[in-house]
Amino acid sequence: MENKRKVYTVSDISKSIKHILEDSLGYVWVEGEVSNLSLPGSGHVYFDLKDKSASIPVALFKGFSQKVKFDLENGLHVIAYGKITSYAPQGKYQLRAEYLEPKGLGALMLALIQLKEKLAREGLFEEEHKRRLPFLPGKIGIVTSFSGAAIRDMIKVLRRRFDNIHIMIYSARVQGEYAPAEIISGIKFFNEMEERVDLLIIGRGGGSIEDLWAFNNEELAREIFKSKIPVISAVGHERDWTISDWVADLRAPTPSAAAELAVRVKDELQDRLDKDLRDLKRLLKENLNRKRDILKHIQGRYGLFRIKDIVPLKMQRLDELSLRMKRSSESILNTNKDKLGYIIKHLENLNPLTILSRGYSVTEDLKTGEVIKDLKNIKEGVLLKTRLYKGSIISRVEKKSPS
C-alpha cells in the first residue's frame, strides 16, 4: 500500500498551486480598496485589495510603481491589472500588479488634484506671494520650445506691441519625461544672469492633459515659486489649467495672451505720454497766469505806490529813535557813575588804613593779637604792637595811667 501512495513535498504543492493559478487565471483586472499600504525604501509597493468579504495581497514592483502618476493611500478605490500568482515561501496567492488606475477618476487627474491640494496647504498659491509685474519690461525671457508655434505667436505679438523690446529665448522641451527638468533649467538660467530680465514667460500651445503634464510637475512649481523674476504661465488654451498656472504670478490663457499681458502697446503709451505732457503744459500755463493776476492785483494797491515815500520816513524815524536811545543811555551811565563814585568814597572813609593815614594808630597785644581798647585789659610788662599808617612799633608797658 505504501508503495502505491505518492508523497508531495511542500514545494511541490506550492509549485502546483502556482501553475494552476497562473494557467487558469493568468492576467486579470481586480477592483478593490487599498489597505495595509507598505512603502519600503526599495521602491516596491505592497498592499491589500479588499472588498466587503475578502482581500488579496498585491505586489507592485519598482519598475511599475514609478509609472503610477498618483499617490497611493489607504482607503483609495482602485482598479489593478496584473497576474495572479503564488508566493511560495509563504504559500499565499497574490496579485503581481503592473498597472493601477483610480476607480471613477483618471490617474493623471487624481495626481493633479493631489498635488494641487498639497501645494495649496503649503501656501504656494497665496496672493500675498505674487510678485508685481513691471509696468514696462525692458527685457523679457521666454522658456519654451524654439520649434513650437507658441514662440512664433509670442514674438509676433511682442514685436507688434513694442517693436524694440529685448527678447531672450531659452529653448526647452515642453512635453515628455525630460521636459520639467529643462524648463526648470531655463528658469534658473534667467535668475542666475548677472543682468536679469525684467519678466519671465513659460508655456506652450494646447494639447491633451498628457501633453501638458510637464507643467504639473512639483519641482517645477517650487522653482517658479522661488524665482526672483516675476513669472507668467501660458500653458495650452483658455480652458486648460496646470499647476504652473496656479503658482505663477500671473496666468495667461494662451501664449499670445501672455505676450499681450506682458507688454503695453507702444503707440498707446506714446499717446498717453503726449496727453500727459499737454495736460502738464496747460496746468503750468494756468498756474503762471493765476500768479501773474495776483501780482498785478498787488501792484495796483495804494500801499505800493507810497513805498518811495514811506521808506525814507521810516528810516528818519529809526534815526530819531537811535539818537534818543543813545542820549538816554549816556544819562543813565552818568547817573550810575556818580552813585558809584559816592559809594567808593564812602568805602574809602571806612577803610582802617584811611583812618591811620590821618595820624591815628591801633595797639594790639603782641602775643594774642587782641586790640587794646581799655587799660583793664593790659598788664605792666606786656609787649604791645602799635600799628601806624606806615609801619609798626613794638613796646613794653612800664606804667598805666587812667587819664
Q: Does domain 10-104 have CATH number 2.40.50.140?
A: yes
% of residues, the chain, pLDDT over 90: 24
Is-contact 230 132, C-beta < 8 A? yes
272-288: pLDDT as tens digits: 776 777 778 888 888 88
Q: Is pLDDT of 302 > 60? A: no
Residue 324's pLDDT is 83
The pLDDT assigned to 47 comes to 93
Tens digits of residue pLDDT in 123-174: 999 999 999 988 888 899 999 998 888 899 999 988 888 888 899 999 999 9
What confidence score (pLDDT) does residue 178 get?
Answer: 92
Q: Which of the four pLDDT bands, split at 50, 70 and 90, describes residue 65?
A: confident
CA nearest neighbour of 20 among 81, 96, 91, 84: 84
Task: Select the highest-mean-pLDDT range: 186-200, 236-250, 252-266, 320-334.
Answer: 186-200
- pLDDT of 202 higher than 90: yes
Q: Is the pLDDT of residue 397 over 60?
A: yes
155 contacts 130 by C-beta, under 8 angstroms = no
Q: Give the CA angle between residues 100, 106, 112 to the nearest 5°.
A: 105
Residue 220 confidence (pLDDT): 95
Q: Who wins on pLDDT, 28 or 271?
A: 28
Q: Are the beta carbons of 212 and 240 closer than 8 angstroms?
A: yes
Residue 195 has pLDDT above 60, yes or no: yes
* pLDDT tens profile 348-383: 666 666 666 666 777 888 778 787 777 777 777 888
Task: For residues 250 and 134, give the distance between their C-alpha atoms in angstroms, rounded to a whole number.
Answer: 12
Report the SS3 class of residue 391: coil
pLDDT > 80? residue 267: no
Which range has the worst mean pLDDT, 203-217, 219-233, 254-268?
254-268
Predicted confidence band of residue 71 (pLDDT cuts 50, 70, 90): confident
In the structure, what pLDDT confidence band is assigned to residue 266 with cuts at 50, 70 and 90? low
Report percent pLDDT > 70 for the chain.
83
CB 33 within 8 A of CB 58: no
**Are the CB atoms for 212 and 148 separated by under 8 Å?**
no
Whole-number pLDDT of residue 382:
82
Tell me how many degrees the CA angle 207-223-68 measures, rounded to the nearest 5.
Answer: 55
Q: How confident is the model at residue 265 (pLDDT cuts 50, 70, 90)?
A: low
CA–CA separation, 285 and 17 (whole Å): 103
Q: Which residues contact 325 (CB under 8 A, 6 or more apart)?
A: none
Helix (H) or strand (E) holding 179: helix 179-191
Q: What is the pLDDT of residue 393?
A: 86
- From the options 3.90.1150.10, 3.40.50.450, 3.40.50.2300, 1.20.1250.20, give the CATH code of 115-127+136-264: 3.40.50.2300
* Contacts (Cβ under 8 Å, ≥6 apart) of 383: 365, 366, 367, 394, 395, 396
CA distances from 199 to 172, 223, 357, 395 (A): 18, 15, 108, 117
Q: How many CB atoms lie within 10 A of CB 246?
A: 18
pLDDT for residue 390: 77
Find the mean pLDDT for residues 380-390.
Answer: 80
Res. 305: pLDDT tops 60:
no
φ, ψ at 152 (rounded to 5°):
-65, -40
Q: What is the DSSP string of 127-142?
A: GGGPPPPPSS-SEEEE
Angle at 269 between CA 268 and CA 270, to 5 degrees: 90
pLDDT digits 0-9 by tens, 80-111: 888 888 776 666 788 889 988 887 666 677 78
Say yes or no to pLDDT of 1 above 60.
Answer: no
pLDDT at 396 over 90: no
How do strand 45-50 and strand 55-60 relate by DSSP bridges?
antiparallel
Residue 270 confidence (pLDDT): 63
State residue 318's pLDDT score: 82
Q: What is the mean pLDDT of residues 194-210?
A: 88
The ranges assigned to domains in the chain are: 10-104, 115-127+136-264, 356-396
Give the three-class secondary structure for 100: strand
- Cα(179)–Cα(173) distance, rounded to whole angstroms? 5
